[in-house]
Chain A
Amino acid sequence: MTQERIIGGCVVAFGALLLVFIIPAQVTSLPGIPTDPGLFPKATAWILVALGLVQLAFARETDDAGIGLVELGRLGLVMGTLVLTGLAMTRFGHIPAMTGLMIASVLMVFERRWYWIAVTILLLPVSCWALFEIVLERPLP
């Protein structure tokens, strides 16, 4: 129940952040005209505040486990690897970046069978590159 109330609080805080800082700085408002660009962002922010308050007040316990510390650590590791792959794609090219991602993946899923490791690391990046670059004729870095 506490977790559900914290979620409600976070949604209210996010809605308030939108109303106080983000929308005034990032949206040009022209109140009074039907095509006011600020109407939808403001309405959305107010709805978030209202729904967050409802969640805060009436939240019931659910089966949602949330994210534990160990899971958060592993998630950070996977997401970090993916971000590095994205950066490496433009710097070193598609095949080297994806080979790196595949090495990280087999380590993260605890694969020990050498033939599957070989297939994943050597075959997948090249096959994917060939599919997009040669078959579909879409240029890759």
Chain B
Amino acid sequence: MPKDTGIGASTKRREDIRFLTGKGVYTDDLSLFGQAHAVMVRSTVAHGRIVSIDTSEAAGMPGVLAVFTGEDFKEVGGNPAGWFIKSRNGEPMREPKRPVLAHGKVRHVGDAYACVVAETYAQAKDAAQVLADAAVIEELPAIIDMKAAAADASNRVHDEIPDNICFDWGWIEDNRAAVDAAMKAAPHVVTLELTNNRLVPNAMEPRASIGEYFPGTGDYKLTTTSQNPHLTRLLICAFVMGIPENKLQVVAPDVGGGFGSKIYHYGEEAVVLAAARKLGRPVRWTAERTESFLSDAHGRDHVTKIELGCTKEGDILAIRTETLANVGAYLSNFSTATPTFLHGTLMAGPYKVPHVYVNVKTIFTNTAPVDAYRGAGRPEATYSIERVIDKMCRELNLDPFEVRRRNLLTPDQFPYTTPVGLVYDTGNYQATLDKAIELGDVAGFEARRAESAKRGKLRGMGLSTWIEACGIAPSHLVGVLGSRVGLYDAATVRVNATGTISVMTGAHSHGQGHETVFPQIVAEKLGIPESSVEIVHGDTAKIPFGMGSYGSRSLAVAGSAMDRAIDKIIAKGKKIAAHMLEAAEGDITFADGKFSVAGTDKAKSFGEIAFSAYVPHNYPLETLEPGLEETAFYDPGNFTYPAGAYICEVEVDPDTGKVDVVSFTAADDFGNVMNPMIVEGQVHGGVGQGIGQALCENTSYDENGQLLTGSFMDYAMPRADDVPFYTVDHSCATPCTHNPLGVKGCGEAGAIGSPPAVVNAVIDALHRGGITHVTHIDMPVSPNRVWQAING
């Protein structure tokens, strides 16, 4: 019987009532007295030297209040990279300054080099055009192609970086010779070159920021579209603007999707704060959709050569990769971690592979910065591994299911130390594979294929057995690996005098459903109704210092902090109860919302204890503080390792090349599941984005660095009719061994595991249809590309 409340119940998302009825309050919904409007002036060339910017005409236009250029921010700091990487030769990565507004040079189309603030949006827009027309920017040759960028020392994105290489990273460099030897000795080597296509995140809500300055106190306030307000505050205060942290409040109200793109601090946030200070008025900025395409941090964009050494029977002996990762024009905050420690460390997959070596060269180009996007590095790793295994199966005529089974780690092998530096704590990869085979009716595939063939369609089936490292992240480990921040999280559980609860969490919900799930856990642990619990997030003035939401970490890290804080509440409650019940603290038990003296019927309800804490008339004041509020910081002991098996079936129309995903089965191990409905929704969304990457989405720059896919007219987002009804299962759970809730995280899984399943299915369909010369098609596997491959 499914539960109807607490942990494991499919409680309906309370936040959806306001989201679905238009009652959400997003940054752009706020209208402040005296507000002024900012419009960014963005480069229309990919690469250029700023010769002069004559702001005088724009500044004199009707309604214009202020004009800013890079010159105004010359003295302040740059937006830093949050992760330090060392090259194979021991040299530090190259870290060019990322200014608030471009100064000296513009480095990508959409690079903001000026800002106009005016009484109205239209006036700011008019003046921005005049300013753009008056700016003299000498166009330089654009550096777009990664290979060319690394090969040409004369043409530089940053003048001080001769080869446009940020770093050349080897993981693990000490293992390289052994991996090379194993590859050389392998009876068979499969080689595959592939591209992991660049994606634009396209959150439904574009980025927006409002800066305020209060001259009476010298305080600043920034309301912004952020996945992590404390991190944004830290970056602005400590690195960019030098405002003391205690003088800046950062608020991220309702946020309409992020997918990673709203983790990072962007220059516009600093500009509106500086403008607010100068004018003494609130200054607001909201991206137009075109600006989102041009200036949000993009995702993926790897070109990889992967080699896999194996036996003729399909035992994997060694994996070696060489990747060029596009970082764009500047280092976004986590751009250096994504292609390295979120990618290279996953290159053993869920398999027992003795030898793995990963090389990543990260390249500057005149394109928008690239950073973490749903999955971040792990989809790139999974795609490379699962595609090359599929190719191995074709070359050696092996069954892809059996090959996976042969190589997957078995439950008795945990904890398992991979050759790329991770320790998988637990899992049962055979179980999820078996479940996917059952739910996906693999046995019935041949009949379905024959039926498709009658309609002229080629049907194929693709498999992906994937793993990810999330619940980011153990601070001591990431510190060793180069992170410049800790990745713990925090929660304050405040029991109000009447027994209701406010939880201040460092996690940030921008669609995930924290407002529903976190109360389920509190309710379960304290024996009170979910409706008595409220989640407070997204405001640095209210919440403890937490690191926000990304990397499938909210529940595993911030949820664990909350769990610890609740334990502290219970422990204090026992002390209070012992006093009130005149019993020894050790004799007090807590269950079902009641503190009881063991072995008696003497008990006090949770509400009575709470009331007593705030009205401490009968209370051990000499030994115990009044009040009932506890804070916990939680630093995870390890990453968590969700894993699963995905089976995709497609039909290919050989005449048009159109691919239809006709079924998709996802059997996942997320550890303990708090709310199955929300988990299912997360998988649907993730797989939808994965199908989008596999079939539709692509970010295309021309050779001059103009974004060809700069609107939804050319950037193909997946739509409802591009995706099938999913079959989703998470019953094969092996609880995480090192966090109190036993949870692993589910937010990114779908986007990580699905792209190779889709592409493998397409190649399978072609082969079964007799089109055996096609061994690979790069994503997106669009109709045009499939048709060209068939007829190529």
Interaction A to B? no
